Chain A
Amino acid sequence: MSGLSSSRVAEPPALSTSSQRFRRLLLLSAALLLVVLALAPLFGSSDISVLRSLLDAALAKQPWQHSPAARVLLYGRIPRVLAAALAGAGLSIAGVAFQALLRNPLADPFTLGVSSGSSLGAVLAIRLGWESLQLFGQPLGEFALSGCALAGAIAVVALVYVVGERGSAGPSTLLLSGVTLALLAGALITAVLYTADFAETYRIVRWQMGDLDVMRYDLVLRMAVPVLFAMLLLWPHARDLNALSAGSDAAAGLGVDVRRATRVVYLAASLAVAAVVSVAGPIGFVGLLVPHTLRGLVGADHRLLLPTSALCGASFLVLCDTLAQVMFRPAVLPVGVLTASIGAPFFVALLLSRSLRRRLWV
């Protein structure tokens, strides 16, 4: 009974409030991202020393913009790094959002079928040659590809959502319908592949690997706008996601408008994923790996988890992509291969180790 009597001594609220922790963690992860963003462009698939060449050009009083190093930096590495950062951030916040919404630590863009739907759209665009379709006298080009990927993602999201709303199995309905649709999309992709010729097959397979090659600023922008918009949509619902961790009834009892929160969060997360996948292809495991690791570090509070996931997810994918470029130089590994090779063992470890699991989700 010692616990009972000790409670009489009301301790002062000496706890640092979450807003203080929020500022500290945000600064820390932003600093990490800045360092990563500053250093990553110095490495790439070619081993030219960017700094040295820029310095040489400056010493020789040549216009630095014309040096080959500057071109590599400006048109190769910087957009690629930015794309990796945005993709990492988008996939991570989507992972956080889906996991909270479905009350399932295994939910992520892939288990929900969003990535598969997106892939199906892109694969169809490649197979049916929609890139050469003309619109206003201009070939559609990659707009067709990423447009179809986006449409595929949206179609799956809508289907999964409708099934989830109608279904009676609660949050698991969403997850199950997502998994089902992912399998169906996989089968359809196989069917398309079966009918495709060599060139198309090669492109389809390459696209499905998920990589950040050939990044340009307009592609970066096409990813940035939806991802940032998704973040803005998600942020006001961070507290709702906390409450939803105890189930929709409990959350509603606390005052959460569960239906509205579910809709907004689902839409925002899907938007982020669709934007990323349509540009960079499916990059797996980021949406699982980053949120789980961070939950162990910063706790379960989504007000901390969402922004740190965005920032650290960005750092993580930039690091992975840099590693993918330098590991087998001059060959570049698709970054999706690398994230999966890191992610899968991590998850096996998670399943095997009780203590790790306790720290991260139970």
Chain B
Amino acid sequence: MRCAELAFCYSAAQMSPPPSTATPPQAAAQLLQLDAASFRYGSKVVLRQLSLSVAAGEAICLLGENGAGKSTLLKLCAGLLRLSGGRVRIDGRDLDGQNRAAIARSVAYLPQECTHVFPFTALEVVLMGRYARSRTPFESADDLRAAEAAMVATDVVNLRQRPFNQLSGGERRRVLLAQALAQDTPLILLDEPTAGLDPAHALALGQAMHGICARGKALVFATHDLNLASRFAQRSLLLHDGELRLSGPTMHVLEQAGPLLGVQLHFGTLPSGVPYVIPT
């Protein structure tokens, strides 16, 4: 499994395991906290009274059918949409009333799709992640180092001089993940991070995510990839029609998720102990 060589995954396995979900994290350590968050597009209720808290070091997976409200929830957490009710706090501070740069120093958000109109190189795109960090008009050596490290982590160093728009979908995804890492925030939100990735890079990305959590950052990702959830998320939430229907340890959620996702799920465990899920 060559992907395990990815530099970022370095000692993820040896480091202290992420906090188990049996003991809810203390308020002080909570990076993201939603209290009764609601959101409406016009008269359509997209999210209803959703509460959630995420602690440092956790990876949380959002599951649900298309249109269940996963992307909306992520955008709310990134401050890109305004709540219709309730509140979002990041690192204890209310998202409302913070300016964009301050928010961008605590949350990085990787959208589902991202194309650039102009021919930026991959490195330039990653360096954009430093926007909220550097005050000077041009990036400093520190910024370059951060970008470089992030690009190593997502295995895109060799793409850095290529025009972003000429990369394949999966390569773009990894460049954007590097951008999110370069942003150097305690909380990272990923909207379908493995969509369009080949199996090797999808797995490597999952391991990179694991490594990120091991370094004390929190991740929230939306995905349709149930195995990504089962392997790399300690907890999962299942949204259905804008409501939080299931939440808890990922395997618990998956066991009851079948009917809500409209499939039957079969579970198994590889000899190595890795669980897997197959929908039928």
Q: Is the beta-carbon distance between A255 and B101 smaller than 8 angstroms?
A: yes
**Which chain A residue shows the least CB distance to B75?**
A249
- Least CB distance from A179 to B in Å reads 18
In the bound assembly, the distance between CA atoms of A3 and B108 in angstroms comes to 27
Q: Please, what's the 1-or-0 string for B145-179, where 1 marks a CB less than 8 Å from any CB in chain A? A: 10011001001111010010110000000000001
Supposing A4-B3, A4-B204, A299-B120 touch, asked if A15 and B158 sit within 8 A by C-beta, the answer is no
Q: Which of A236, A245, A295 contacts B116 (CB 8 A)?
A: A245
The reply to whether A250 and B120 form a contact with Cβ atoms under 8 Å apart is no
Provide a sorted-by-A list of 20 A–B residue pairs whose CB atoms are within 8 angstroms: A6-B158, A7-B7, A10-B149, A11-B148, A13-B148, A17-B141, A242-B124, A246-B116, A249-B80, A252-B79, A252-B100, A253-B80, A253-B108, A254-B131, A254-B132, A255-B132, A300-B116, A303-B138, A359-B119, A361-B117
B128 interface residue, CB < 8 Å from A? yes
In angstroms, Cα B104 to Cα A249, docked, is 12
Question: Could you tell me the distance in whole angstroms from the C-beta of A236 to the nearest C-beta in chain B?
Answer: 8
| Interface residue B99 (Cβ < 8 Å from any Cβ of A) | yes
Q: How far apart are the CA atoms of A360 and B118 in the complex, in Å?
A: 8
Contact residues, A330-362 vs B (CB, 8 A): 358-362
In chain A between 1 and 42, which residues have their CB closer than 8 angstroms to a CB of chain B?
A: 1, 3-8, 10-11, 13, 15, 17-19, 22
Q: Are B124 and A301 in contact (CB under 8 A)?
A: yes
In the complex formed, the residue of B with least CB distance to A296 is: B119
Q: Does A74 reach chain B (CB closer than 8 Å)?
A: no
User: What's the minimum C-beta distance from B32 to chain A, rounded to whole angstroms?
Assistant: 15
CB proximity to A under 8 Å, residues B87-117: 99-101, 103-105, 107-109, 111, 114-117
Inter-chain CA distance A260–B155, complex, in Å, is 35
State in angstroms the CA–CA spacing of A299 and B165 once bound together: 13
Which chain B residue lies CB-closest to A171? B117
* A residues with CB within 8 A of B: 1, 3-8, 10-11, 13, 15, 17-19, 22, 100, 103-105, 235-236, 238-239, 242-243, 245-247, 249-250, 252-258, 295, 299-301, 303, 358-362
Q: Does B124 lie within 8 Å of A253, measured CB to CB?
A: no
In whole Å, how far is B74's beta carbon from the nearest beta carbon of chain A? 10
Cα distance A300–B149 in the bound complex, in angstroms = 23
Contact A17 B138 (CB under 8 A): yes
Q: Could you tell me the distance in whole angstroms from the C-beta of B186 to the nearest C-beta in chain A? A: 15
Which among B115, B131, B148, B163 is the interface contact of A239 at CB below 8 angstroms? B131
Closest 10 CB pairs of A and B: A255-B104, A255-B132, A300-B118, A19-B138, A253-B109, A255-B101, A254-B131, A13-B144, A103-B117, A7-B155
Q: Is the CB of A3 within 8 A of B120?
A: no
* B111 adjacent to A253 (CB under 8 Å): yes
Residues in A neighbouring B156, C-beta threshold 8 A: 7
What B residues does A105 contact at CB under 8 A? 117-118
**CA distance in complex: A55, B90 (Å):** 74
The range of chain B's interface size is 35 or more
| Residue B200 at the chain A interface, CB threshold 8 Å | yes
Q: With A249-B80, A361-B117 in contact, do A7 and B157 touch (Cβ < 8 Å)?
A: yes
Please determine whether A255 and B120 come into contact, CB atoms closer than 8 angstroms. no
Q: By the criterion CB–CB under 8 Å, are B119 and A243 in contact?
A: no
The interface residues of chain A lying within 8 Å CB-to-CB of B115 are: 246-247
A235 to B139, CA, bound (A): 15
**Residues of chain B contacted by A235 (CB below 8 angstroms):** 137
Kindly state the separation between the CA atoms of A249 and B191 in the bound complex, as whole angstroms.
13
In the assembled complex, the CB of B121 is this many whole angstroms from the nearest CB of chain A, namely 7
Q: Is B260 an interface residue (CB 8 A)?
A: no
Q: Within 8 Å CB of A239, what residues of B?
A: 128, 131, 137
Chain B nearest Cβ from A309, distance in angstroms: 13
* A7 touching B119, Cβ below 8 Å: no
Query: Are B104 and A7 in contact, with the CB atoms below 8 A?
Result: no
Which of B6, B137, B144, B145 interacts with A4 by CB under 8 Å? Answer: B6
Nearest CB of chain B from residue A108's CB, rounded to whole Å: 14
Pick from B6, B105, B141, B155: contact of A255, CB below 8 A.
B105
Interface centre among B156, B163, B166, by most chain A C-beta atoms within 10 angstroms, is B163
